[in-house]
Each structure stands twice: as C-alpha cells, then as structure tokens.
Structure 1
C-alpha cells in the first residue's frame, strides 16, 4: 500500500498547481514543490508525526507542516479544499496535459472560459487560441499531442505504483492459511513501463477463503465480479486487480499463461499444437488422450516444448522464442550485478538528502563505487556555482572510502544546451570523475536540430553518459524527436554510454531504444537518478527495463570493476576523433 508520504506528496503538488492557477506567489509554489519532494524522499513513514517532527524534515516549514498534520489527523486540509473550490475540476484536469502547465491553464480559463479538455480541443480546432500570447500553431500542435498522450495513458499505473500495490496484496494473501504460493503476473512481471491492471496468482486447494479475504482487503472499493476461480476488484483510485486461484499442481502452467504477453503465448501454444499437445493455464496435455504431461513449474512447461526457461521481461514475441531454440538467449543483467550507481543527487541542488546520508545508504546497498552528480549551473533554478561544486569535490575526496570502503566519484549532471554545448569549459570539466549530460529544456526543437544537439554532446570528450535520452515524463511530457539511430552511432563512435534512467516516470532510454542501440555496440549505464535515500531502490525498475532490452552485464558499465570503468571514462575514441 502507498505510504502516507505518497499521499501527502500528491497533495502538496496539487496545492502548488492550485496556487499557480489562482495567481499565488511563485515562491510559495516552489516551497510546496520542494516540500513534496522532501516528503516523498523521506525514509520513514510520516503517518502519526506531529508538527514538530514534520518541521524537522528539511524543506518542510511551519505552515506546510501544519497542513500536513491537519491532513494526517483529519484526512482533509481546509486551505486546499478552499483552493479547489475556486477552480473548476475541469481546469485542474488541464494541468495534467503534457506541455500545458498551470499558468497556461489559468490563462485559458480566465481569458476564454475553457474549463475542460474537450473544450480546449474544440477551441484549438476553431483557432480561438491564436490571439493569446504564447499560443501559436506550434503550441497548439504540442497541446493536441499532449491530449493524445493523456487519453492514451488514462487509468494506467506507473511501474513503481503498480509494484508497491501488487507487493502489498501478495504479502497479505501469502499470510493466509491455505495459500501455498502467491505472486503477481501479467505485464507487471514483464516490467512493462505502465500497467493497466494487476494480475495476482495464488496456488491453493481451498480457493473460497482466499477469495473472501481478497474481497475484504481494506483497499477494495468495489467487487466487480467474484467466483471460485477468479475475483476482480477495483481500488479507491480506480485500479482493477484480478485474483486467480489455481491448484498447486497447476502453478507453473498458470504462471506462464497469466504472465503473457499474448503474442508470446500464441507462439508457445503454436509450438504445443505442432507437437500434438494442448497448453492451458492448468497444464500441458496430450491433445488426443487429454493426459496431463507437465504443469508444476514454468521450467517444466518450456522444457517439454524444447525450450529453456524464458525470462518474463523477454516474453514479447520479439525474437525470444527463436533465440531460445538456437540456445542464444542472453544472460540478462540483474540488480545483483550492479557494482555502483553513476547518476545521483544531494541537497546541494534538488535532492532532499545530504551527501553523507546518500553515501551511507549507497554503502548499505553493497556498492563498490558511487557517483555524486549534482546539477550544473545552466539549470539556473538549482543555483549551482563553481565554488559550491569545488567545495563539494573536496568533501567527496575526504569521504572517499569512508563508507565501508566504497569509492566515491565526484561528477555532475550537465545540461545539454539547444546547440549541443554543456556547462563549464573543458578545463573545469576535466576535474570531474564522471559527467552525465541530459536535456532539460527546449524540448520542441526540430528533429534535425535535436539530433545535432545530442550528437554534439556525445562528441564532447568530457561527456561520459547521455542521460535520460528522450527527456520524456510518462503521462506528462512527450519525448523529444530525434534520429536516434544517428545518436546511437555517435554514442558507439565516441565511447559515450547511454543511460537507462530508473525513475518510474522516465524509464529512459526505453526498451525499444536499448534494442536498437545494442546493434551499434553502445554501452549502457543503469542509474537511479536518486534525489533521496529512498530513490536509490528504484534502480530495480531500470534493471527491468534493461532486461526488456536484452542487456547483459558486460554491456552495462556500472557492473564493471572500477579499474575497467575508469578506463572507459577516459573516452579515447572521442579524443582520437
């Protein structure tokens, strides 16, 4: 289940948007956004904390702490409800459109009376926005694309939300008498970037008590349907969860069947038919006699069809069956293979934990090395200076090896300017151990300009990793448009690693990009982009995305020993170019 922190984070972000919609001061908006990040990243559950304890969290002031305490005790905040009442719900929904923020939503409402997504689309089609400042044809095109993204993602959960919800349900059901095995299946088990609904699988000889307990979970808002084999419920947030209970002897076949994908399962069933077998969620049977052949484990089901076990992230009918038949399935990278994290932040910029707190948490994860990469000065809102960065470098050097022998690397996340340049001159950049370079602005450049921009960044001998490739935020900001094959060629030619960013609303580069980039010989870095201690654990989602892209440990630079990593970071190919 979601922590109180997650609920409060959403509430504070909503209030920041409401302040923007109602013309509130910009500094107050930023204060609530900062507090939202601080609450989300706080390592402990804030449920039950009072104002004094809440104020001890960096970034949470007295007024915000009082509102949080009010919510924790009463489930409401009077000031926020008053702000909601001043703005129609349809206007608030406008802020969910990628590329359309609160300020533009407020302008549309106050100047044109637009109070819903449908009204906005009608206004664009009738060219009513053309007289508003900042709303030209290109802006209209971007808004319409944003509406398409919003509608396409409606009702789908981000990977971290789905995982936390599924793990909560699995834990509750696993503790029940009569539950032999329990796990989640479906697209979540395959690490799809968003999940439409959850599939929970239980093995039990007595399904009814399991079904009854499932219907009575505190998260259930509605029971959609219920029977001896399947029960479907809807949560208060509108997410559907389907529970299926199968006999223990059918566990393997059911897990294979309900994990999917549909296209993968079609290929597997076709193989079964050619072998005069029949495959269902209950087992693999002889087609003529109906006799059960295997069903207890997935490995047995695949083996009987002449295949090795195929890892769930590969099961998308993208060549995995043929590779399995040839004995060429990759040994996928796993979280246990990672020796370090090469993209993280502290409270020197937009993180919410100190350098020491982040290092202690990284060491506790067993990392051999860890890079601190706070933002550079061209991202002006972070107020970075040369002096601040150099002071941090001294502190990093002093703390190197102080945490369980972990090597600490000093780096930065550079901003890729519209022309492909980055922060700081070469002589300053040369002092960093590792530089990640990412796009943080000018997301609507032409395809040709964006391609040149990224290629030029790769050609910089001090840029080691190309961060969150497309700049997308799932459901909120569309990806930049570029000739990514040209970018991948540049990465391979210059020795620039491509990041797999693990934030659940990024997962960028995505699996399709990874599959394409591998063909050019590109290397990768799976990074958490952590802004808090808690964020470090989200690297599991980056690993899942990397697995969907068929990555092996040797293709991921932060699985390498430090000596090999340092040799890669010298970018010899770029210096020779």
Structure 2
C-alpha cells in the first residue's frame, strides 16, 4: 500500500498548487513544494516520527511538521481545507490537468471565468484562449493533450510502483497461510507494463476458501466485489481492484502462463495448440479429442510442448516473441543483477535529498562496482550550482572513491540542453568530468525541427556520454517531446552517445516502444535511476523491466560493462 510519506507528499504538493492558484506567496508555495519532495523521498516512515524528528527532514520546518502531524492524526489539515474551500471546485479541477499548471489555471479563471474542464474545452474550441498573454495555438494543443491524459488516467490505471507495493504485500500475506504451495502476481504487472489496471494474484493450494476469506478481511480491503470458489475480487482502500485465483498445485504452470500473457500473446499460443490438435487452458494442456492432460505443472513444460522455449513475461505482448521462439532467436534478456552501477544520481548539493556520503554508502550497500554522482549544472538556475561548488564536490568524490575500495565513485554532472542545444559549461571544463549526462529540462513546446536540432547538437558534443530521460515525458502528466527521435537514434548510434532508460516510475523514459526502435539503429543504453534520494535507488527494477520489454541484452547496456570498457565508451573510444 502507499507509504504515509507518499500521501503526505501529495497533500503538501496540492497545498503548494492551491497557494499558487489563489495568487498567494510564491515563496510559500515553493517551500511546500520542496517539503513535499523531501518527505516523499525520505527513508523513514513519517507516520512513525514525532514533531521533532519531522523537523529533521530537509525543508520541513515547525509549521509544516505541525500540518503533517495533524494530517496523520485526523486525516485532514484545517488550513488546507480552508484554502480548498476558498477556491471553486472547478478551478481545483483545472490544476489536475497535466500541462496546464496553477499559474495558467489562475489566468483562465480570472480572465475568462473558466472553472471547469467542460468550460475550458468550450473556450478552446471557440479559440478564446488565443487572446490571453502566454497562450496560443500550441498551448491549446498541449491543454487538449493534458485533458486526454487526465481522462486516460481516470480509467483506473496506476503506476507500476504503486501496483507492485500492493501486490507484494498481498503475496506476502497469502504466502504465509497454511496450505499455500505457490503464490505470485501475474498479468500486466508480471509483464512489467508501466501502468497497471488491476492486479492478478495466483495461489496454488488444495483448498481455496482460506485464501478467499483472507483476501476479503485484509485491513486495506475496502470492498469485496465478488467471492466464489475459484475467484475473489476486492477493491482496496486506494481504489485498486485485485483479483485472486486459487489453482490446484498440479495446474500452476498452466495457470501462470494463462494469466500472465497479454490477450494477443495467449491467442497465439492457443492457435499453436490447436495446430497440434491440443487445447490450452488455465488448467493445463490437453489432447483436444480425448481430453487427456499432457502437462500443466510448469510454464516451461507448457511452452516446450508447444515447440517453444520459455518466453520471459515482459516479452509476452505479441511483438514477435512467438516467431523468435520458434526460430530459437529470443534474446538473453538483461537482468537486474547484470547492472554494475548507476550513472545518474543526485545529492542535496542541488535538488537531491541526501548528502553525498549517504548516497555513496547506499550505492555501496547495493554491491555496485561503480557509481556516478551527477548533480545539476548551473543553467537550471533554481539549483544555484557554480563551477566552484562542482569542483569542491569533485574533491569530496575523489576522497570517497579512495575510501570505498570495492566501488569506484565517478564524478559527473547532469547538463541542461538549452533552447539552441547549448550546454552549461565550456568544453574544457566538461572534459574533466568522468561522464556528462545531458537532458532537456525546459522549452518543451519548441517546434519539432527546433527540438530535434537541439538534441542532435547535444549528441554531437564529444563530452556528452548519455542523453538523460530523452523524451522528458512524465506518465499521465506530461507528453513526450515532439521531436524526430529516429534522427536522434541515428545520431546516438553514429556518435556513440547512450540513451538513458530512466527508471523512475513517473518517467520510464525511454518507453519500451522507443527502445525497440532505437535498438534497430545500434544505439547503446544506460539504465539509471536518476535517484534524488536513497529510497529511489531500488527503482532500478522498473528500468530493467522496461529494458526487458524493449528486448535488451546486457551487451546493449553500458552500465553492465566492466569499468575499463565503460571508461573507453565514456571517452568516445567505441563500445568493444
């Protein structure tokens, strides 16, 4: 279930938005926004902290700590409730539209009297927004896209990280019940899709009743939607549907295969079964004529009897995996254990939440062979970076590198790709970093040609090793850049610039579809967390899952390589 930290983060971010939309103190809004991020990424559960301990969290002062305590005790905060009440409900709805933002929402309300999504749609269709300063045809397109994103999010899909938290907790609870021989999650979550509609949980046991009853009585079960001998469905207190199926132990493999694959993948496997005069169901593989069971206990047995190798779950989307399996051409997919180090992380020197020493120590605990610190460069003015601060950090990094004999600590930076493709520092300064990650952080609405030229210029810079979160998308909140990414992929392959697979669940950028395209150009990739807190380092699993969905092997990913090979790549000396 969602950590208390995440609930408090969402509440404080909402308050920051409400302050901004009501024309309140911008400094106050920024303070609550920073506190929200600090609490969301804090390593300890805030529900277990007293007011004094809360104030030890970066950016959390007495006033904010008091509000957190009030929320944790009562479920609401009077000051936030009052601010909500002072703003029309429709206007509050406007700020939930991705790509709009509180400032533009305030302008729409004050200038045009818009206080609902429907009124906003009418105004766009009547082209009334174009008379407002800072609005235009491109703004209208972005708002319409944001409304579409919001409506899609309203269909009940949640980020993979939130679904995984729920699934793993339920699997843990059910696995402890006497009689359980196997238990896991299946469906789109097992396939590592970026968003999840509902969670499928499977149990192998002789008796189903104890598991059905246990699921319905869990403390976070809000409603039992259906309960029967073979299936129980609940809705959690967060509105997520969970479907539990209990299978006979001898049918485990068939059930796991059946409830994991996409609809299209399962149609393919059933078609193969029919061609072999067989019938495939969640209970096993049977002779079509006699009904005699052939196999059912493991997925490997099911696939083998169909003439296929075992197909990894992230590939089961009917995107060529059946043909590749028949040709013995399935890739040996990247695994999380193959990652030797994280090449994109931040500290509290810029917008991270933990000191350098703590981030490095946490990375060492994960068993990495190397680890890069890549704080923001000065063109993101809010980070207040200077060359002097960066050089001082380099000295600290070098000292920590000497201390951590089992892990090399690399000093890098995340550069901002400016509107014309310019970078933050001159080439002679960049040359002394171990690596440079470059990313777009602003001016998202440039023309397609301008955005493409901008990214290509960064790829051409010999000191840029990785393009970070390449499309800049935020799932359900911000669309990806409208650039010619085929041109970008070609340039990255030609210049030896890796493309990042950003593992943060809000990003997962590149997407699996982009990875598949880029791989055809010969691009190399870096699976990084972009961690801004110690709690973000485990997000690596989601980046690896996305890489698997893009059919990547460990040779495709530069941070699986030994350090000597990686350094050659970072110096522009090729990939071999």
Kindly indicate whether the alpha-carbon contact (under 8 Å) linking 2:99 and 2:478 is maintained by their aligned counterparts in 1: yes
Aligned pairs, how many?
Answer: 574
Kindly indicate whether the alpha-carbon contact (under 8 Å) linking 2:400 and 2:409 is maintained by their aligned counterparts in 1: yes
Residue of structure 2 equivalent to 1:339: 340
Residue of structure 2 equivalent to 1:109: 109
Supply the distance in 2 between the matched residues of 1:547 and 1:312 (Cα, whole angstroms).
9
Residue of structure 2 equivalent to 1:81: 81
Supply the distance in 2 between the matched residues of 1:113 and 1:249 (Cα, whole angstroms).
64
Supply the distance in 1 between the matched residues of 2:129 and 2:493 (Cα, whole angstroms).
44
1:238 deviates by 1.9
Name the SS for the 1:202 alignment partner: strand
Residue of structure 2 equivalent to 1:434: 435
Kindly indicate whether the alpha-carbon contact (under 8 Å) linking 2:524 and 2:557 is maintained by their aligned counterparts in 1: yes
Name the SS for the 1:98 alignment partner: coil
| Cα pair distance change 1:237/1:91, threshold 3 Å | farther
1:72 deviates by 1.5
Name the SS for the 1:237 alignment partner: coil
Supply the distance in 1 between the matched residues of 2:402 and 2:228 (Cα, whole angstroms).
58
For 1:39-61, what per-residue CA distance to the aligned partner results, in whole angstroms no more than 9, with x for missing partners?
11111111131110100112211
Residue of structure 2 equivalent to 1:349: 350
Name the SS for the 2:129 alignment partner: coil
Please state if 1:98 is matched with 2:98: yes
Kindly indicate whether the alpha-carbon contact (under 8 Å) linking 2:568 and 2:574 is maintained by their aligned counterparts in 1: no
Residue of structure 2 equivalent to 1:406: 407
Kindly indicate whether the alpha-carbon contact (under 8 Å) linking 1:48 and 1:72 is maintained by their aligned counterparts in 2: no
| Cα pair distance change 1:48/1:507, threshold 3 Å | same
Kindly indicate whether the alpha-carbon contact (under 8 Å) linking 2:370 and 2:410 is maintained by their aligned counterparts in 1: yes
1:572 deviates by 4.0
For 1:421-452, what per-residue CA distance to the aligned partner results, in whole angstroms no more than 9, with x for missing partners?
11100011011000000010111111111111
For 1:493-524, what per-residue CA distance to the aligned partner results, in whole angstroms no more than 9, with x for missing partners?
00000100001111011111111111111111
Kindly indicate whether the alpha-carbon contact (under 8 Å) linking 2:308 and 2:326 is maintained by their aligned counterparts in 1: yes
Name the SS for the 1:285 alignment partner: strand
Supply the distance in 2 between the matched residues of 1:518 and 1:127 (Cα, whole angstroms).
42
Please state if 1:447 is matched with 2:444: no
Kindly indicate whether the alpha-carbon contact (under 8 Å) linking 2:492 and 2:499 is maintained by their aligned counterparts in 1: yes
Mapping of 1:12-411 within 5 angstroms?
12-154=12-154, 155-411=156-412
Name the SS for the 2:358 alignment partner: helix
Supply the distance in 2 between the matched residues of 1:336 and 1:282 (Cα, whole angstroms).
33
Q: Which segment drifts farther, 564-573 or 360-369?
A: 564-573
1:237 deviates by 2.4
| Cα pair distance change 1:478/1:344, threshold 3 Å | same
Mapping of 1:538-557 within 5 angstroms?
538-557=539-558
Supply the distance in 2 between the matched residues of 1:229 and 1:248 (Cα, whole angstroms).
13
1:97 deviates by 1.5
1:108 deviates by 1.7
1:388 deviates by 0.7
1:10 deviates by 0.9
Q: Scaled by the length of structure 2, what TM-score is found? A: 0.98
Residue of structure 2 equivalent to 1:464: 465
1:404 deviates by 5.0
Supply the distance in 2 between the matched residues of 1:254 and 1:153 (Cα, whole angstroms).
29
Q: Which segment drifts farther, 77-86 or 463-472?
A: 77-86
Kindly indicate whether the alpha-carbon contact (under 8 Å) linking 1:279 and 1:285 is maintained by their aligned counterparts in 2: yes
Kindly indicate whether the alpha-carbon contact (under 8 Å) linking 1:333 and 1:543 is maintained by their aligned counterparts in 2: yes
Kindly indicate whether the alpha-carbon contact (under 8 Å) linking 1:526 and 1:558 is maintained by their aligned counterparts in 2: yes
Supply the distance in 2 between the matched residues of 1:233 and 1:125 (Cα, whole angstroms).
41
Q: Which segment drifts farther, 336-345 or 145-154?
A: 145-154
Supply the distance in 1 between the matched residues of 2:75 and 2:342 (Cα, whole angstroms).
38
Deviating above 4 A after TM superposition, structure 1's stretches of 4 or more consecutive aligned residues are none
For 1:261-304, what per-residue CA distance to the aligned partner results, in whole angstroms no more than 9, with x for missing partners?
11111110000000000000111011000011111111110011
| Cα pair distance change 1:12/1:404, threshold 3 Å | farther
For 1:123-148, what per-residue CA distance to the aligned partner results, in whole angstroms no more than 9, with x for missing partners?
21122323322222221121111111
Supply the distance in 2 between the matched residues of 1:23 and 1:231 (Cα, whole angstroms).
49
Name the SS for the 1:413 alignment partner: strand
Supply the distance in 1 between the matched residues of 2:129 and 2:221 (Cα, whole angstroms).
43
Supply the distance in 1 between the matched residues of 2:355 and 2:288 (Cα, whole angstroms).
63
Please state if 1:533 is matched with 2:527: no
Residue of structure 2 equivalent to 1:421: 422
1:92 deviates by 1.9
Name the SS for the 1:400 alignment partner: helix
Q: Extract unaligned runs of 5+ from structure 2.
A: none
Kindly indicate whether the alpha-carbon contact (under 8 Å) linking 2:280 and 2:286 is maintained by their aligned counterparts in 1: yes
For 1:304-343, what per-residue CA distance to the aligned partner results, in whole angstroms no more than 9, with x for missing partners?
1111100000011111111111111111111100110000
Q: Extract unaligned runs of 5+ from structure 1.
A: none
For 1:207-235, what per-residue CA distance to the aligned partner results, in whole angstroms no more than 9, with x for missing partners?
11211111111112222222111111112
1:573 deviates by 6.9
Supply the distance in 1 between the matched residues of 2:517 and 2:128 (Cα, whole angstroms).
42
